[in-house]
A and B are shown apart, each in its own frame.
Chain A
Amino acid sequence: MNFRVVEELISSLDMSMGSGFSNDNQNNLSEWDSCLLKIGKYRDKSAFKSLYEHFAPRLKSFLLRIGSDESAAEEICQETMIMVWRRAETYNPESAGASTWIFTIARNKRIDKLRKDSRPLPNFNDPLFYQKPIDKSDDILQRTEEEKKIKNVLKNLPPEQAKLILSAYYDDKSHRKIAEETNLPLGTVKSRIRLAINRLRTQLEDFEG
């Protein structure tokens, strides 16, 4: 991880403070990436409130769509947002955008909930505790380009494919439910999802701009 780059970034943020978050486009950071950095550095509660108002209702809706019930969705939402506040100082804009980072925390919180009774051991590999050295050559530009591409390709997907892609994130129970409803073996359901993901990967590779 290149700390110098992050340092430079944060100091450039300092200069643009007070003029809103959206002036950081020259750094390719989204409004929410900058907001997270600000929360991490200054424990800024009003920035946190904006972030919460943007992400918590989206996260709740996303969790409902992938199989959580109302109360579980709200609980995971709250636990995720608390974690966002507490771990904002470890947020590294080189490895993930705000929405990817928040998704990853929510993923872990959902696992904790599903495993509550059967998992006395913590998973030491929680991405919140390690920045995984996934790819040493990463930089913010590459990361933001990747995320932008995904958003653009998603926008243009036919509804059927979009539904399949979303179902990749369903919990086990919801996968079994699809299998029952469509009268297909669970393996076939999973294999369709895998093919949809592979098709998306190809679309990403072919996508220009």
Chain B
Amino acid sequence: MNKQNTLTLVETLLIDYANGTLPLALEVLVETHISMNPVSARSIRMLLQLGGALLENSEPISLSEGSFEKLMAEIDSGFDKDREINNNVSNDNKLLPLPLRNYAQDIDSPKSWKRIGIGLSEQAINFGDDFGSTKLYKISPGCSVPSHSHDGNEVTLVLSGGFTDEYGTYGPGDISIQETGAVHKPVADEDGECIVLAVNEGPIVLTGPVGRLLNMLIK
């Protein structure tokens, strides 16, 4: 997809992030992206401030009778269920941006990766819901992902290194969006390994001759 359309879709992603309607996989992708991209970080900041201003400007509507007292009673009872959620950040994955660290398995351990081609490995990430599929891909320098199309939109974020496909060149923090049916063949830059996070709404369909064989194997 060309750069202008991609930019448009990224803007829509950022708005959906701010209003909280993204599935968790995309929410984490956007958080990772804004931790790497100051322009998008400023957009999110503006959108949250705008939300704050709209909240401040809202005409007050009373809550039901005794709401404040009920709230204080709950506070005084001292039970804080949110404290029980484990919010420690993993010590593994120091090389990954913070927002992604707890979700991925240790990227330094070979055991976390499954080899799926020459110079190409993947790691599935489970977000505990039934939304599409999310994977990390590791592509060796100069190697490529076999030409494939997408059954469902795919959003890819470069975490390290870079790749080039039919539509452009992408570096750390860049997002590439493939719409349903789009075909592309990403090739990792020669100067280093490339790791990307890919969130797919539907299964990937491999289109090259080798790919078609792989499709049969994957099934």
Tell me which of A3-11, A20-28, A51-59, A177-185 binds B.
A51-59
Q: Which partner residue on chain B sits nearest A106 by CB separation?
A: B55
- CB of B58 within 8 A of CB of A74, answer no
Interface size on A, residues (CB 8 A): 75
Among B45, B57, B72, B127, contact of A135 (Cβ-Cβ < 8 Å)? B45
- CB of A100 within 8 A of CB of B52, answer yes
- CB of A49 within 8 A of CB of B68, answer yes
A residues in contact with B47, CB < 8 Å: 168, 197
Give, as a whole number of angstroms, the nearest-CB distance from B188 to chain A: 27
- CB of B19 within 8 A of CB of A119, answer no
Give, as a whole number of angstroms, the nearest-CB distance from A44 to chain B: 13
CB neighbors of A among B75-113 (8 A): 75, 80, 82, 85-87, 89, 98-99, 101-103
Q: Which partner residue on chain B sits nearest A138 by CB separation?
A: B45
CB neighbors of A among B1-32 (8 A): 8, 11-12, 15, 18-21, 24, 27-28, 31
- CB of B52 within 8 A of CB of A102, answer yes
* Distance of A101 Cα from B45 Cα, bound (Å): 11
- CB of B20 within 8 A of CB of A107, answer yes
Q: Which partner residue on chain B sits nearest A83 by CB separation?
A: B82
Give, as a whole number of angstroms, the nearest-CB distance from B43 to chain A: 8
- CB of A170 within 8 A of CB of B52, answer no
- CB of B52 within 8 A of CB of A103, answer yes
* Distance of A68 Cα from B21 Cα, bound (Å): 13
Indicate whether A57 sits within 8 Å of B62 (C-beta atoms), given known contacts A62-B55, A169-B54. Answer: yes
Give, as a whole number of angstroms, the nearest-CB distance from A125 to chain B: 5
- CB of A52 within 8 A of CB of B128, answer no
A161 within 8 A of partner (CB):
no
A residues in contact with B59, CB < 8 Å: 58, 61
Among A74, A83, A122, contact of B85 (Cβ-Cβ < 8 Å)? A122
Tell me which of B34-42, B144-152, B163-171, B189-197 binds A.
B34-42
A residues in contact with B61, CB < 8 Å: 57, 60-61, 64
* Distance of A156 Cα from B82 Cα, bound (Å): 40
B residues in contact with A69, CB < 8 Å: none
Indicate whether A147 sits within 8 Å of B71 (C-beta atoms), given known contacts A58-B55, A110-B20. Answer: no
**Closest 9 CB pairs between A and B?**
A100-B52, A57-B60, A99-B52, A61-B61, A103-B51, A61-B58, A99-B56, A62-B58, A121-B128
7 contacts between A and B (CB under 8 A): A57-B61, A74-B64, A96-B48, A119-B24, A190-B12, A191-B12, A201-B46
